[in-house]
Chain A
């Protein structure tokens, strides 16, 4: 059954791929929808029959790479951590598949799109069910390729294929770290199998790795390297630049890959490695700081963007930061909890935004929206639900999970934990603010779109609204439903050995026993953010521009995304091409060829030309040469006398 969950989407994708070559749209839908819907259903069956009663299972498929002690199998590991990811992935994926039928109805290569979606789902499932690091890497790169294909789906657009390439290359920088982390762990433990690694980790606390003469704690090195991989995939500060650009892909892709599932793979990896990271405190500190910085950094950018999808993309980036700092203070269950609730409400927000874009004839700029709430009331309601959940308003999903994270950060009682808490609270304010800015700008105020566009606005068809509705149920209920199970006092009974927290660390209990004001603060902060946004953007829209002008330097910094793209372009991209050109022309052509083959053959040519010039055929030349020779001989002879 576990194999069926993983491979059904692949079969669906292959079927859709064949349908794409046959140019048969209906067949493509039948294959891909059957595959992913069955997979989602089985996913829930397995979750209820295995994860909740507490049964773990590993399915061996085949052997993969066997060289000496380097033994890698294809195997599916199924424990609670995997089960949670499986239901998140298959459910959101199924909803997105259905939604796409409506959203992509005007596109001319629908089966190709469905095939890519199925391929992505398969790779993501391989990632979460991996029982060794190399298979995890297979899924990791697989989702990267699927994401590359989907971002570049409209390959005729230069911006789309540029964004696709950027996503792949930036992720490769992360993979560089990931791969090295795998080598380090293999070298230390003699295995890439997760269980074996986790067993040997406690004995390795004092081992060291020496690089360039510096001895470093081995586990910290491996941990940091693997975290670099997680940073790439989850778009954390420094390696985040690809995510906003990835919005070039069709909106269902943004919902599935760049909000709900693939970008959370980094969080999953960190939780999966909890038995190792618990012995790498420095790595966890790094994770906390990077997560906290990303949470606030991305939120500041989200404040100023005008593209509706980019606002949500930066919001995703920021929320992933929350998950990371939760994991950094060892509250892995809280991270996974937020991952789950976030998957529902963020997919809802993206698909809702897609519905808006669809209604507005492919307009994405919020400056050209406004005053449309009564024309698409259902979408409007869905966006409210998503935003309420994101802002963490009571009884919506985000309230439970985000507060849990903030409480855990506070309860850590370390300077770094406190730092994360402060950043998290500040980001919560910004989150609420930009969410309502989005709602106000998109739906309220005077219509700013052309009359032509306004006359076409319509609510989306059922095939798009039903998935929205189902995700909305998740966005409302998932927090309340899973709270006790995921992060309650008996969290261990649910997660069991799939998540390991140092027994000396009572973070999960402490988080429930923080002062009252700590529990209430996020709520008030969020309400303040909502209120301010409604006042500025809802009641006096002219003020917003004034504020932006007043704080022009800061606004520019945020609006230009802290100039990351410009800096990377100037430091890495252009120099790489320039260095390449210099090496090619100065290195290969001038130096190597110049002194090597061309140089030698030129020398030979010149020498032989010289020799042949000597043989001019004129008697007086020869006579002259003889004369010189005779004189030289005579001179030598006289000297030696």
Chain B
């Protein structure tokens, strides 16, 4: 493990909290407070993003262990300590979180008008918690961040949300909490068995296969809800529909990735035998997710709900990739998560843009938007094509690698997964057609204001990244490569030690 001279990772994690302190100190009448709160939040999150880029530049992708490790004494008990660090699996997510937060803040520049200060506090706190989740190297620290993320998001939906916000916020909270209670129990069991909650040490610890079975299920309960996997996905459409635009961007962009991250960080390396055992079950659930939610998406009348259901289908690709347990599958799953983070954030923002103008998400209320907002039509088109996995966008690289991996694990799984590329095209194209194409007849459509500079400023970086990394994905793939190999190697070793059954795990590694 490499340690650095100054605790850059800890600083990065808690920097947004300093912004929160500033926000609390702002004085003046409401207008002044709002204006200053927006600026402070934007500057702080922008600075955090820059710091994350510095981290990225100094990151050594060839090194297999954790980097920028910060350690500290924390709880008196042995084996539980404050520890942070990143590897190739967490690094992309940290940058993604730091990248999307300023955009989300910018996206709510005008649409949020009351309690602006509190809103910005929630977002900055959320950023700290997200980065902390990905950077934590101690199970207890991870658990705290992972669970605490719920609080600001619960507040964002519950206060700045739409009409049914309270129902949605509670549903979101109950679902995720129910999952994490089981994870807490599992953490206690692991601490009692292994005597530590240090993640690198736990990764090396070989749990008994019977224990793994139950630990896996407990973690699975939590991660499956977060993903979300079918059939525990129903909180997501409601949460998205009621959340403010920026909330949806972060929810889809980052929060959904915590489940996939959890599978890769904990389930695979710590419970390798159980992962192999449960892989078929996860395949089945994911395939149902892809086909079922795609069909449900076809039936939606609400733009946000449609995109929310499409997220569930895309996350189905992620879980299939992870549990295909080969390098292409896992790398594809990782890439798909990053790609979905960019594309879904942009799509939810695209919905927000027209929602701000017309105050409805009903698809039938639109039609012919291209006439009034040609640039919007272009950005929306690119993101729509990214979402259906067009080669040349990031969406393709992720999906394709997942399916390459799936074919090697199980041909039938690959065939069912590939139906997603037909269904995905159907609902997205249909959405686009009903909203953007057609003849604009209603006055309110004809008088839609074109994109303003702020909105273009949000779309442009997302668009550039989606295309750039679609053509040159190695920028992301190289960061993850070594760490993914490490995870798969660990699985492989652990499996062979315990059961000798490593048929699936070997496939695709080592060439």
| Contact residues of B between 218 and 245, Cβ < 8 Å to A | 231-232, 234-235, 237
Q: Decide if B418 touches A176 in the complex (CB within 8 Å).
A: yes
Closest to B329 in A: A67
CB-contact partner of B404 in A70, A152, A168, A576, under 8 A: A70
A581→B301 CA distance, assembly (Å): 11
Q: Decide if A63 touches B328 in the complex (CB within 8 Å).
A: no
Least CB distance, A23 to chain B, in whole angstroms = 10
Instruction: Say yes or no for A134: interface residue by CB 8 A criterion.
Output: yes
Instruction: Say yes or no for A375: interface residue by CB 8 A criterion.
Output: no
How many residues of B sit at the interface, in one of the four size bands?
35 or more
Q: Decide if A145 touches B390 in the complex (CB within 8 Å).
A: yes
Least CB distance, B426 to chain A, in whole angstroms = 5
Q: Which residues from chain A contact B374 at a C-beta distance below 8 Å? A: 21
Among the 9-residue stretches B112-120, B150-158, B252-260, B409-417, the one with 4 or more Cβ atoms under 8 Å from chain A is B409-417
Top 9 nearest A-B pairs (CB, nearest first) are A580-B299, A68-B327, A69-B511, A183-B407, A580-B295, A138-B391, A161-B437, A581-B299, A580-B298
Q: Decide if B422 touches A172 in the complex (CB within 8 Å).
A: yes
Closest to A591 in B: B231
Least CB distance, B130 to chain A, in whole angstroms = 25
CB-contact partner of A190 in B235, B411, B426, B511, under 8 A: B511
Q: Decide if B421 touches A583 in the complex (CB within 8 Å).
A: no
A142→B415 CA distance, assembly (Å): 23
Q: Which residues from chain A contact B511 at a C-beta distance below 8 Å? A: 68-69, 190
Instruction: Say yes or no for B7: interface residue by CB 8 A criterion.
Output: no
| Contact residues of B between 374 and 433, Cβ < 8 Å to A | 374-375, 385, 390-392, 396-397, 400-401, 403-404, 407-408, 411-412, 414-415, 418-419, 421-422, 425-426, 429-430, 433
A70→B430 CA distance, assembly (Å): 33
Q: Decide if B292 touches A587 in the complex (CB within 8 Å).
A: yes
Complex interface bits, A553-581 against B, C-beta within 8 A gives 1, otherwise 0: 00000000000000000000000110111
Instruction: Say yes or no for A622: interface residue by CB 8 A criterion.
Output: no
Least CB distance, A178 to chain B, in whole angstroms = 10
Closest to A210 in B: B411
CB<8 Å pairs between A and B, sample of 13: A65-B473, A70-B404, A145-B390, A155-B437, A156-B368, A158-B439, A176-B421, A183-B407, A211-B411, A588-B234, A588-B296, A592-B234, A597-B171
Instruction: Say yes or no for A79: interface residue by CB 8 A criterion.
Output: no
Q: Which residues from chain A contact B297 at a C-beta distance below 8 Å? A: 580
Q: Decide if B391 touches A65 in the complex (CB within 8 Å).
A: no
Q: Decide if A597 touches B234 in the complex (CB within 8 Å).
A: yes
Instruction: Say yes or no for B111: interface residue by CB 8 A criterion.
Output: no
Q: Decide if A62 touches B174 in the complex (CB within 8 Å).
A: no
Closest to B230 in A: A592
Instruction: Say yes or no for B508: interface residue by CB 8 A criterion.
Output: yes
Instruction: Say yes or no for B509: interface residue by CB 8 A criterion.
Output: yes
Q: Which residues from chain B contact A286 at a C-beta distance below 8 Å? A: none
Q: Decide if B412 touches A212 in the complex (CB within 8 Å).
A: yes
Give chain A's interface secondary structure class: helix
Given A576-B298, A587-B292: A65 in contact with B403 (beta carbons within 8 A): no
Q: Decide if A156 touches B438 in the complex (CB within 8 Å).
A: yes
Given A68-B511, A70-B401, A577-B299: A165 in contact with B430 (beta carbons within 8 A): yes
Instruction: Say yes or no for A524: interface residue by CB 8 A criterion.
Output: no
Instruction: Say yes or no for A607: interface residue by CB 8 A criterion.
Output: no
Instruction: Say yes or no for B175: interface residue by CB 8 A criterion.
Output: yes
Q: Decide if A156 touches B439 in the complex (CB within 8 Å).
A: yes
Q: Decide if B175 touches A597 in the complex (CB within 8 Å).
A: yes
Least CB distance, A171 to chain B, in whole angstroms = 9
Least CB distance, A75 to chain B, in whole angstroms = 14
Instruction: Say yes or no for A184: interface residue by CB 8 A criterion.
Output: yes
Give chain B's interface secondary structure class: helix
Instruction: Say yes or no for A209: interface residue by CB 8 A criterion.
Output: yes
Given A584-B299, A601-B174: A64 in contact with B473 (beta carbons within 8 A): yes
Q: Which residues from chain B contact A158 at a C-beta distance below 8 Å? A: 438-439
Q: Decide if A180 touches B439 in the complex (CB within 8 Å).
A: no
A588→B241 CA distance, assembly (Å): 15
Closest to B175 in A: A597
Q: Decide if A179 touches B296 in the complex (CB within 8 Å).
A: no
CB-contact partner of A187 in B407, B418, B426, B481, under 8 A: B407
A162→B327 CA distance, assembly (Å): 40
Closest to B305 in A: A584
Instruction: Say yes or no for A482: interface residue by CB 8 A criterion.
Output: no
Q: Decide if B391 touches A141 in the complex (CB within 8 Å).
A: yes
Least CB distance, A479 to chain B, in whole angstroms = 36
Q: Decide if A66 touches B474 in the complex (CB within 8 Å).
A: yes
Q: Which residues from chain B contact A588 at a C-beta distance below 8 Å? A: 234, 237, 296
| Contact residues of A between 145 and 180, Cβ < 8 Å to B | 145, 148, 152, 155-158, 161-162, 164-165, 168-169, 172-173, 175-176, 179-180
A592→B228 CA distance, assembly (Å): 14
Q: Decide if B392 touches A142 in the complex (CB within 8 Å).
A: yes
Q: Decide if B429 touches A165 in the complex (CB within 8 Å).
A: yes
Q: Decide if B299 touches A67 in the complex (CB within 8 Å).
A: no
Least CB distance, A114 to chain B, in whole angstroms = 16
Q: Decide if B403 touches A183 in the complex (CB within 8 Å).
A: yes
Closest to B389 in A: A141
Instruction: Say yes or no for A44: interface residue by CB 8 A criterion.
Output: no
Given A588-B296, A593-B234: A142 in contact with B328 (beta carbons within 8 A): no
Least CB distance, B283 to chain A, in whole angstroms = 14
Least CB distance, B328 to chain A, in whole angstroms = 5
| Contact residues of B between 295 and 317, Cβ < 8 Å to A | 295-300
A577→B296 CA distance, assembly (Å): 8
A601→B177 CA distance, assembly (Å): 14
Q: Decide if B433 touches A161 in the complex (CB within 8 Å).
A: yes
Instruction: Say yes or no for A596: interface residue by CB 8 A criterion.
Output: yes
Instruction: Say yes or no for A492: interface residue by CB 8 A criterion.
Output: no
A187→B406 CA distance, assembly (Å): 11
Q: A66-B478, A156-B437, A175-B422 are in contact. List 10 more A-B contacts (CB 8 A).
A: A141-B390, A152-B437, A156-B438, A158-B439, A176-B419, A180-B415, A211-B415, A584-B296, A592-B232, A596-B232
A157→B440 CA distance, assembly (Å): 11
Q: Decide if A62 touches B407 in the complex (CB within 8 Å).
A: no
